[in-house]
Structure 1
């Protein structure tokens, strides 16, 4: 007889952490959204192949059964179970790069997956980033 695996839908700071700069910018972006159907920021992983994984964020109004949730200051973060496996221990920061603009940066991402580790922000180009 096998034991059932418990599923926790809560993210902890050991799963994902946000720097104060990232928290401030995300809260502002979320507050500026003029759509009552938007309830959270979804952090996702996509890609693979030669350039590795890509980490990004988008606004969402949909929570799925296997999403993990973090309550942040002024917004929620959703991460699906697949992405969670690649994001454990990630720190999301917001970095201003002078003339190159500013972006969210994913630090300490799952080392063996590679990936870009940066994101243009939830409000850029079509509501997401890659």
Structure 2
């Protein structure tokens, strides 16, 4: 079950570029863990392996993985890739987050 988590075109494009550079398909694994200055934090990793506990979110040939424990904490979220003056990064836009820290990786529900 995806919990209505979506992957934007920008995130899909970047994942497809990473796959092309690697010479094989890579997926973005998003996990929510306790910690950070706001209570929860996102952990983002690239992987080439999905597990049975993963929900697969696909868009334009790219795939993001969210485990069954993290998915409810990210319900309705959008996984995006943003390019800014200070750098480029994957960014999670989570409608359930009531507060977040300045770095954007830590949030509270």
Q: Is TM more than 0.5 here?
A: yes
Give unmatched runs, 5+ long, in structure 2.
none
Work out which of the two has the higher radius of gyration on C-alpha atoms and give 1 or 2. 1
Root-mean-square deviation (CA), in Å?
2.6
Cα deviation for residue 33 of structure 1 reads 1.7
In 2, Cα distance between equivalents of 1:47 and 1:22:
25
Runs of 4+ residues over 3 Å off in structure 1: 112-118
Question: For each residue in 1:13-61, what CA deviation from the matched residue of structure 2 results, as whole angstroms up to 9, or x when unmatched?
Answer: x621222222211221122224x5x653211112336432222321223
Q: Which has the higher contact order (CA 8 A, sep 6+)?
A: 2
In 1, Cα distance between equivalents of 2:73 and 2:17:
26
Taking the TM superposition and a 5 Å limit, the aligned residue runs for 1:44-55 are 44-48=31-35, 50-55=37-42
- 3-state SS of the aligned residue for 2:16? helix
Does the 8 Å CA contact 1:109/1:117 hold for their aligned counterparts?
no
- 3-state SS of the aligned residue for 2:22? coil
State the TM-score, normalized to the length of structure 1. 0.63
Partner of 1:22: 11
Give unmatched runs, 5+ long, in structure 1.
1-7, 119-130
Higher strand share: 2
Q: How many residues align?
A: 104
Does the 8 Å CA contact 1:52/1:114 hold for their aligned counterparts?
no
